[in-house]
Amino acid sequence: MSDAHEASTGQPPSSPPSPADAQSDLGGFLAPFDVQADPVLLQQAVTHRSWAYENGGAPHNERLEFLGDSILGQAVTVKLFTDYPDLSEGELSRRRAALVSSVALAEVARTVGVGQHLRLGVGEERSGGREKESILADAVEAIIGAVYLSTDSETAGRFVLRLIEPLIADPERFTISLDPKTTVQEEADARGITRPAYDIVGSGPDHDRRFHATVELDGFNGEGLGISKKAAEIAAARELIAKMSAKGQLKHRKSR
pLDDT in tens, the chain (256 residues): 334 334 333 434 434 444 344 435 555 778 889 898 999 999 999 999 999 999 999 999 999 999 999 999 999 999 999 999 999 998 898 889 888 988 889 889 988 899 999 999 999 998 888 988 889 999 999 999 999 999 999 999 999 999 999 888 776 666 566 678 888 998 999 999 999 999 999 998 887 788 999 999 999 999 998 888 988 998 899 889 888 888 888 876 554 4
Q: Which residues are catalytic?
A: 69, 141
The angle formed by the CA atoms of residues 135, 228 and 62, to the nearest 5 degrees, is 20
Query: Contact 86/99 with Cβ under 8 angstroms?
Result: no
Distances (CA, A) of 202 to 33, 77, 187, 205, 212: 40, 39, 27, 10, 6
Distances (CA, A) of 144 to 12, 117, 139, 176, 225: 32, 15, 9, 25, 29
Which distant-in-sequence residues (6+ apart) come within 8 Å of 131 by Cβ?
115, 227
Task: Give the CA diameter of the chain.
Answer: 61
Helix, strand, coil fractions of the chain, as percent rounded to 5: 65, 10, 25
Which distant-in-sequence residues (6+ apart) come within 8 Å of 233 by Cβ?
181, 198, 200, 213, 215, 224, 226
Q: How many residues make up the chain in this entry?
A: 256
Count of CA atoms in the C-beta half-sphere (13 A) of 183: 29
Query: Contact 34/19 with Cβ under 8 angstroms?
Result: no
β-pair partners for 203: 210
Query: Domains of the chain, with CATH numbers?
Result: 3-175 (1.10.1520.10), 180-254 (3.30.160.20)
Whether this prediction's pTM lies above 0.75 is answered by no
15 burial type by CB count under 10 A (0-12 exposed, 13-18 middle, 19+ buried)? exposed
